[in-house]
Amino acid sequence: MLPTQCLCTNLRRASRGISRHYDGALDGFGINVAQYSLLCNLKRLDQPSISSLAEAMGLDRSTLGRNLRVLENAGLVKLAEGEDHRNRLVCLTRAGEERLEAALPAWEAAQQQLIDRLGEDRREQLLQLLDDLAGPD
């Protein structure tokens, strides 16, 4: 790998490496880390609209829509009409809840491996730096 001082390149490399780490942990569950995150957010938000879910996850609606279709085809989520019929709600199915519960120990182990690798102080520093970068310009 070529060394670079470019923050974007280094963050993207790190992101891909972290995704591979979590994807490997979730491999036996038929979902990747992006799908796991989506299912977790659905559980936390309890039947959000597509717009509010996209906003909460920092995704555009089209990206979220593509991910939702995959999960819907797998029977892990379903879409329901909102109160005004212009707003679609995203619901976690029982199968989605079961998949999330089954995958949680693998996700926790992957998380702990990274915390052990960084140490708690560097983990906190990294979280703060990432928050700083993710915030408004």
Output the CA torsion 117→122→127→129 (10° steps).
-130
Which pLDDT score is estimated for 136? 72
Give the separation between CA 36 and CA 100, rounded to whole angstroms: 7
Residue 68's pLDDT band, with cuts at 50, 70 and 90, is: very high
Residue 137's pLDDT band, with cuts at 50, 70 and 90, is: low
pTM for the structure as a whole: 0.89
Token pair of 97, please? 């809840």
Q: Which residues contact 97 (CB under 8 A, 6 or more apart)?
A: 43
Give the separation between CA 136 and CA 12, rounded to whole angstroms: 19
Q: What domains are there in the chain, each with its CATH number?
A: 21-134 (1.10.10.10)
pLDDT tens for 70-108 read: 999 999 999 998 777 777 899 999 999 999 999 999 999
Give the separation between CA 127 and CA 137, rounded to whole angstroms: 18
pLDDT tens for 22-62 read: 999 999 999 999 999 999 999 999 999 998 999 999 899 89
Which pLDDT score is estimated for 84? 73
Higher-confidence residue of 81 and 67: namely 67
Give the separation between CA 84 and CA 107, rounded to whole angstroms: 37
The pLDDT of residue 18 is above 80: yes
Q: Identify the CA nearest to 21 among candidates 6, 36, 7.
A: 36
